[in-house]
Amino acid sequence: MTNATERGLKAILIEKNDFASGTSSRSSKMIHGGLRYLRYLQVNLVREALMERGHLLQAYPHLVKPLSFILPSFNSDLDMLSKHLALIAYDKLAGNAMVHPHKRLSTDELLKELPGFKNKGLKGGMLFWDAYTNDARLTSDVLCNAALQGAVTLNYVEATKFINENNSVKVLVCKDLISSETIAVKARVYINATGVWTDEILEKLFGPAAKKMEPTKGVHLLIPSNRLPGGHAIAVVSTSGDKRFLYTLPWENGLTILGSTDSAYHKKPDEPDVTTDDINYILDAFNASFPHAKLTVKDIVSVYSGLRPLLNEKDEKDNYSRSREYRIWWSENNFINIAGGKLTSFLSMGKHCLDVVHTRFKHLWPDKTKETSSANYNGAWKENYDQNGVFIENIVAENALYKATISPEWKYTLAEMVFFIRYQFAETLADLLTRRTSITYAMKDYNQPLVQSLAELMAKELGKPYGWIEEQQAKYYQHWLEYHPLLLHSTKAASGNPEYSHAG
Ligand SMILES: Cc1cc2nc3c(=O)[nH]c(=O)nc-3n(C[C@H](O)[C@H](O)[C@H](O)COP(=O)(O)OP(=O)(O)OC[C@H]3O[C@@H](n4cnc5c(N)ncnc54)[C@H](O)[C@@H]3O)c2cc1C
């Protein structure tokens, strides 16, 4: 979107749910080159992602941060040597975008960094650098900036029907899922960037056809960060015979992410589930590497499940080795698809797609690129919000009460909530609590008073009627259960929904 507006184009984005509610809030949160793809000689994919990693670290320093990874080595010196050689290539491919050079760790050094790591057969390991992010916040930040530059960004608006003529799309018919209004979008070019929903959109255009996508499911667990050694992301090998790597990733609100699984998925893409097998697969892998940790279901604070938008490539062998490359292809004269790839490469994917559009629509292209303003905000909110911090400062100036935190146990202020509602498109409690903040992930026990007070704040900001507050809380409770399924909370299953009483 930002790239389109910078090129002087008028752009509109339609999203049927909340921004990033699909795969883009359900990733492993790594901004990385993808070291393991070197094993499959996907050098271009890795190089592109490493360049993008460097770019994102510079452009979004408040959301993309460097992170050290530890990759243990077992049994033979050859294993250590092959990892060392792969990392030499990884650092070289990054060129000037390298975060820090990798380093060999002796067995003692590794155990000092990772107390309690299993030492049977351990030969030491490698410490190397990539980066991590909050994927959902990165998405809303990018879209907020695009909107500030003139793009139109609509969440909760579904593309329902295409009207075609002479192999071109004339009109896209959409439904506003909040107001139930119908919206007709007339554009020169339509881009289908719907990830695992790509086939559903193509079906609306052409009817049932051969599937372009073949998603796999990836589940993650979140545990308190003090349950495993912190400071680094740690690679462990799965115990189930598939020899996949799983990772810990130190994240927000005192949580560490453990993941992920990678299994075939053939159901509807809207609500990928989490099963007991998924949970055991992850716990077993980390318990084998940290035998004293004895992680159990009781340690799990929350879970999430996402679908990898992998392309249907029949010649590929197993899910783990399937390509993370992306494809761009035309389906109609003015209808183009982009699918596959990784979150890390979203900017270069978008640019590449617009370059392809440009070659076909040169004659309609605007002459001028848009001037981007170079604001220079340096106040207290810069660290977490960069230039958009100025909006939060203005919200506090408007009402000093908004300086207060949302409740004693959370560091977020009311001003940040108002910022997310006014500038970053939060329309529901799930938007606010799961994708603009990561409160849902950390809220192991359902915090009814907090949820209610935020529903009231949202209703005031969005001008919603009284009944909306009750309705939102009921919807949010169902959403919260997705991240805290009953198999983690058998006592809650018995007690059912909390009561939604309004204190006003
Ligand atoms: C388990 C897992 C781990 C991953 N880990 C990483 C990682 O560590 N690093 C990394 O770089 N990448 C990672 N990825 C990949 C990355 O998350 C995805 O490549 C990326 O988020 C895909 O973005 P997208 O915009 O293509 O899809 P999505 O984020 O799914 O966006 C597509 C959107 O289209 C919307 N939509 C669908 N139908 C309609 C309609 N009819 N009308 C309007 N809107 C519609 C959906 O609601 C959805 O929000 C991971 C993915 C998974 C599943």
Nearest CA to ligand 1 atom 25: 195
Report the pLDDT averaged over residues 117-125.
95
Q: Which residue among 27, 64, 310 is best mutated to probe the pocket of ligand 1, counting the most ligand atoms within 8 A of its Cβ?
A: 27
Whole-number Å distance, alpha carbon 309 to ligand 1 midpoint, is 7
For residue 309, is it within any domain? no
What are 16-49's pLDDT values in tens digits? 999 999 999 999 999 999 998 998 888 998 999 9
Nearest CA to ligand 1 atom 2: 27
Report the pLDDT averaged over residues 470-497.
78
For residue 393, is it within any domain? yes
What token pair was written down for 425?
Answer: 């498109």
What are 370-394's pLDDT values in tens digits? 777 777 999 999 999 999 999 999 9
**Nearest of 206, 444, 494, 197 to residue 302 by alpha carbon:** 444
pLDDT computed for residue 315 by the predictor: 53
Which residues sit opposite 13 in a β-bridge?
A: 153
pLDDT computed for residue 325 by the predictor: 85
Whole-number Å distance, alpha carbon 195 to ligand 1 midpoint, is 5
Contact 476, 428 (CB under 8 A): yes
Nearest CA to ligand 1 atom 34: 194
Give the C-alpha separation, 206 to 189, whole Å. Answer: 17
Which residues sit opposite 183 in a β-bridge?
A: 174
What are 219-274's pLDDT values in tens digits? 999 999 999 999 999 999 999 988 899 999 999 999 999 999 999 999 999 989 99
Whole-number Å distance, alpha carbon 250 to ligand 1 midpoint, is 22
For residue 390, is it within any domain? yes
Instruction: Give the number of C-alpha atoms closer than 13 A to the C-alpha of residue 474, restricted to the C-beta side.
Output: 8
Which residues sit opposite 326 in a β-bridge?
A: 340
Q: Taking the alpha carbons of 228, 405, 302, 16 in that order, is the dihedral positive or negative?
A: negative
pLDDT at 454 over 80: yes
For residue 165, is it within any domain? no
Whole-number Å distance, alpha carbon 225 to ligand 1 midpoint, is 26
Contact 24, 31 (CB under 8 A): no
Give the C-alpha separation, 60 to 501, whole Å. Answer: 41
What are 393-424's pLDDT values in tens digits? 999 999 999 999 999 999 999 999 999 999 99
For residue 474, is it within any domain? yes
Listed range (119-133, 335-349, 358-372) with the worst mean pLDDT: 358-372
Full residue range of the structural domain in which residue 428 is found: 382-483
Which residues sit opposite 305 in a β-bridge?
A: 219
pLDDT confidence of 75, banded at 50, 70, 90? confident
What token pair was written down for 418?
Answer: 């108002």
Pocket residues for ligand 1 (CB within 6 Å)?
A: 14-17, 20-24, 26-30, 158-159, 193-197, 200-201, 218, 260, 306-309, 341-344
Whole-number Å distance, alpha carbon 365 to ligand 1 midpoint, is 29
Contact 269, 194 (CB under 8 A): no
Contacts of 43 (CB under 8 A, 6+ apart): 93
What are 77-107's pLDDT values in tens digits? 899 999 999 999 999 999 999 999 999 999 9
Listed range (268-272, 351-355, 365-369, 434-438) with the worst mean pLDDT: 365-369
Return phi, psi of residue 84, to 5°.
-60, -45
For residue 329, is it within any domain? no
pLDDT at 468 over 80: yes
pLDDT computed for residue 318 by the predictor: 59
What's 102's DSSP letter? -
Whole-number Å distance, alpha carbon 308 to ligand 1 midpoint, is 7
Whole-number Å distance, alpha carbon 84 to ligand 1 midpoint, is 32
pLDDT at 499 over 70: no
Contact 35, 43 (CB under 8 A): no
What token pair was written down for 366?
Answer: 């605007």
pLDDT computed for residue 502 by the predictor: 34
pLDDT computed for residue 39 by the predictor: 85
Nearest CA to ligand 1 atom 1: 218
Give the C-alpha separation, 331 to 206, whole Å. Answer: 9
> Residue 352, class by beta-carbon neighbours within 10 Å (0-12 exposed, 13-18 middle, 19+ buried)?
middle
Residue type, 391: F
> Residue 119, class by beta-carbon neighbours within 10 Å (0-12 exposed, 13-18 middle, 19+ buried)?
middle
Q: Please identify, by atom number, the ligand 1 atom nearest to the C-alpha of residue 261.
A: 1
Give the C-alpha separation, 403 to 469, whole Å. Answer: 23
pLDDT at 333 over 70: yes
For residue 403, is it within any domain? yes
pLDDT computed for residue 492 by the predictor: 43
For residue 408, is it within any domain? yes
How far does Cα 495 stand from its chain's mean position? 32
What token pair was written down for 415?
Answer: 């001003």
β-pairing verdict for 168-176 and 182-185: antiparallel
Whole-number Å distance, alpha carbon 119 to ligand 1 midpoint, is 38
Listed range (6-15, 200-209, 370-379, 485-494) with the worst mean pLDDT: 485-494
Return phi, psi of residue 128, to 5°.
-135, 170
Q: Which residue among 16, 19, 23, 200 is best mutated to probe the pocket of ligand 1, counting the most ligand atoms within 8 A of its Cβ?
A: 23
pLDDT confidence of 319, banded at 50, 70, 90? low
pLDDT computed for residue 321 by the predictor: 55
Whole-number Å distance, alpha carbon 391 to ligand 1 midpoint, is 28
pLDDT confidence of 504, banded at 50, 70, 90? very low
pLDDT at 73 over 60: yes
Q: Please identify, by atom number, the ligand 1 atom nearest to the C-alpha of residue 49.
A: 11
346-361 and 43-59 helices, crossing angle to 10°: 100
Whole-number Å distance, alpha carbon 488 to ligand 1 midpoint, is 26
pLDDT computed for residue 498 by the predictor: 44
Contacts of 148 (CB under 8 A, 6+ apart): none
Average pLDDT, the chain: 93
Give the C-alpha separation, 203 to 200, whole Å. Answer: 5
Q: How many structural domains does the chain have?
A: 1
Q: Which residue among 197, 203, 268, 353 is best mutated to probe the pocket of ligand 1, counting the most ligand atoms within 8 A of its Cβ?
A: 197
